[in-house]
Amino acid sequence: MMFSLLSQNFDMNYSTKSCFTLFLTIFCGATLLQAAVITQIRSEEAGTHWNQATTGGNDVWSDGNAASGTNDYVNNAYTLRTPTSSSTFNGKSLTLETGGSLLLKPNGAGRVYTVNDLILDGGKIIHGQPSITTSEIAGNITLLSDSIYDASGSSYRRATISASITGSSVFDITLGNSDRLEISSVSNNFSGLWQVNQYGTENVTSYGFVASGDGSLGNASVFIDTLVAFDVDYDIYNPTKSLTMNGEMILDQDHTFGSVSIGGNALAAGTYTFADLNSSFDANFRDGGTGSITVIPESSSLALMLLSVCGLCMGLRKRR
């Protein structure tokens, strides 16, 4: 009986030790599998790309390895290049901080570049040469601070952002002659500012900035520079945001904003048909439109209006 109790005690201790050892193994393994933050330490030369470990015989990343799915990657001072063909960045995430840039290098049409978690924290996406190319940016984009998309290097650069977009900063977009940027993702949570600028003196009114996905602009304000065309394929309802239209709008939907400025002229509250707008601002609206723009008063204005009405009613009651 004593032997049996000792045996049970030994089995229990052994079992406890085994469980503890197993727990340590799992915990340590999980700790080792946690993503490390790897920084870019030099710009990539022509002919190399984001999934390579070296450029010109030197390391691209601080750990000396090629990007892998267990690590987060940060670029705060250098240029990272895509391949010329479609590609997915192998890292868990890629952050572009101020001074860092991602250079799209398509050598033809239909190139798709995917980053599962692209974080823009002051960095820049550049649509590189050659011209007459099209690119798609897929995955997910988060704007932590004001960041840039730049296609001003040469003409006829077409890109589509199908990635979901979140954040509340400024997405500063610069388009060159005959360039086009289309936002095709749907129901985006972006709540900052789309600031679309024109580079140079030639217009991009045949191309420009296109929002094709339903809800692609999110709940954000929109600024369109002179000579830039703006085309939206769904009804925008952003009553707390603003629209500044200095370029040319293709108005075939019904849009609502809290404030609207057309060619430097602020619109009063109300609904304006295409005919109204085209008559007053012919240069800012392409012929053949069918939509409308509604400007609704801010909540504070509505509150003052209600107070005024209440005061008027009380005055009438006293007179009776």
Two tokens at 232? 């939206």
3-class DSSP state of 138:
strand
Element (H, E) at 300: helix 299-319
CB 263 within 8 A of CB 246: yes
3-class DSSP state of 29:
helix
CA angle 248, 252, 258 (to 5 degrees): 75
Q: Give the rounded percent of residues in the chain with a pLDDT score beyond 70.
A: 78
Task: Using pLDDT thresholds of 50, 70 and 90, give the confidence band for residue 156.
Answer: confident
CA atoms within 13 A on the CB side of 83: 12
Q: Tokens 């954040």 belong to which residue?
A: 167
* For residue 269, pLDDT beyond 60: yes
* For residue 128, pLDDT beyond 90: no
Over residues 72-101, mean pLDDT: 98
pLDDT of the residue at 63: 97
* 271 vs 188: CA distance, rounded Å: 26
Q: 123-137, 138-152, 288-302 — which is least confidently predicted? A: 288-302
* For residue 315, pLDDT beyond 80: no
pLDDT of the residue at 136: 97
- The overall average pLDDT reported for the chain is 86
Residue with the bigger pLDDT between 5 and 261: it is 261
Element (H, E) at 11: helix 2-33
CA atoms within 13 A on the CB side of 283: 10
The whole-angstrom distance between residue 205's C-alpha and the CA centroid of its chain comes to: 22
Over residues 62-66, mean pLDDT: 98
* For residue 53, pLDDT beyond 50: yes
Residue 93: partners with Cβ closer than 8 Å, 6 or more residues away: 35, 72, 73, 115, 116, 117, 118, 119
* For residue 150, pLDDT beyond 90: yes
pLDDT of the residue at 154: 65
* For residue 309, pLDDT beyond 60: no
* For residue 310, pLDDT beyond 80: no
* 184 vs 182: CA distance, rounded Å: 6
Q: 88-92, 199-203, 223-227, 269-273 — which is least confidently predicted? A: 199-203
pLDDT of the residue at 130: 66
Overall pTM surpassing 0.85 (yes/no): no
* For residue 307, pLDDT beyond 80: no
Q: Where are the chain's structural domains?
A: 38-319
* For residue 254, pLDDT beyond 80: yes
* For residue 24, pLDDT beyond 50: no
